[in-house]
Amino acid sequence: MRMKVKKSKAVRIMLVVVAMFVSSFGSAYAAANLEPINAFFNRGVSFVLKGELWQPRDEDGKPLTAIFYNGNNYLPVRALAEALKIPIDYDAANQKIYIGGKPGEKTPIFAMPMEIDNIYAIPTKDPKETNVKDKQYQEVLKIDQYGDAYFTLDRKYKRLVLDAAVISPGEYDVEFSLYNAGDTAGSAASTVLEMHSVSPDDDVKRLMFNVEGLEKIKLHVQSHNLNPYIYARILDTSFFDNGDPAAGNSSSGTIIK
């Protein structure tokens, strides 16, 4: 019985020490990084976003009120970024808030949520199908006549970097057209945002599309001559990213040899 009492006391002492350590750590962090201020909820201010009354809300949908401090009104950066359709990420480990996407973030095209026309656009890993311009790839999206591929972006990316080619026996130039496929696109969904073409004489060609601020996109692949067989291939080296500051965000096509 005595042994149990001692063990129980030891456990209680250990818990107290842990609690004191956590409290001390939290206090040290607060002392170094957090500064108390005298601020007020400003319930009299309202917001107009692009001509319409706007109510900022938190992640749970609860209304947010501006905080008035030192002559300025403040709102959480996430509420503003999402309203303006700007990607935002929070790195808790490094205490960094990324507005406009994380630099260097890159996602391969086949790792993205994708919807495709299964009749004419087919992803394949067949080695016979993935040999393009005498180079072996692991996976390609083959479009032999025409096809649409939809990608859900959630405004996380600025560019679609597309590596594409036309293989034998294709004999027509192929157009790759970008559309806004988001729920709020409305009549703009039928407007081509960007279009680039690839010739059968080209080697693998790198095409860059601006997708900044888009929730969802459609990539339409077809010949200008409408319905001939085109034998187009989208390669697994394609990806979405937030741009290359060193190279700029040019959307011109580049031949990859």
Domains and CATH numbers, the chain: 40-84 (no CATH), 106-256 (2.60.120)
> Over pLDDT 90: what percentage of the chain?
50
Give the model's pLDDT for residue 245: 52
Among 174, 115, 114, 110, CA closest to 144: 174
Q: Who has greater pLDDT, 227 or 67? A: 67
Distance CA 234, CA 205 (A): 10
Please say if the pLDDT value at position 17 is more than 90.
no
Rg (CA), the chain: 27
Please say if the pLDDT value at position 20 is more than 50.
no
Could you give the 3-state DSSP secondary structure of residue 31?
A: helix
Please say if the pLDDT value at position 151 is more than 80.
yes
Among 197, 159, 158, 195, CA closest to 179: 195
Mean pLDDT lowest for which of 7-11, 79-83, 86-90, 129-133?
Answer: 7-11
Give the model's pLDDT for residue 219: 97
Mean pLDDT lowest for which of 39-48, 54-63, 200-209, 244-253?
Answer: 244-253
- How does DSSP classify residue 208? E
Give the model's pLDDT for residue 256: 64
Give the model's pLDDT for residue 35: 85
Question: Which H/E stretch holds residue 78?
Answer: helix 77-83
Instruction: Please state the rounded mean pLDDT for residues 139-157.
Output: 93
What lies within 8 Å, CB to CB, of 165 at 6+ separation is: 132, 133, 198, 202, 203, 204, 205, 232, 233, 235
Give the model's pLDDT for residue 33: 80
What lies within 8 Å, CB to CB, of 224 at 6+ separation is: 172, 173, 175, 197
Distance CA 129, CA 202 (A): 18
Q: Who has greater pLDDT, 252 or 227? A: 227
Cβ–Cβ under 8 Å, residues 236 and 193: no
pLDDT tens-digit map of 172-207: 999 999 999 999 888 889 999 999 999 999 999 999
Label residue 239 left, alpha or beta by phi (over 0 means left) and psi (-120 to 50 means alpha): beta
For the chain, give the mean pLDDT. Answer: 83
Give the model's pLDDT for residue 87: 72
Could you give the 3-state DSSP secondary structure of residue 169?
A: coil
Cβ–Cβ under 8 Å, residues 234 and 179: no
Please provide the distance, in angstroms rounded to a whole number, between the alpha carbons at the two ends of the chain: 80
Give the model's pLDDT for residue 257: 55
Give the model's pLDDT for residue 248: 46
Band the pLDDT of 4: cuts 50, 70, 90.
Answer: very low
Most distant pair of Cα atoms in the chain: their distance: 92
pLDDT tens-digit map of 68-117: 999 999 888 888 877 777 777 788 888 888 777 677 678 999 999 999 98
Distance CA 67, CA 39 (A): 7
Instruction: Please state the rounded mean pLDDT for residues 120-149.
Output: 95
Give the model's pLDDT for residue 184: 86
Give the model's pLDDT for residue 105: 74
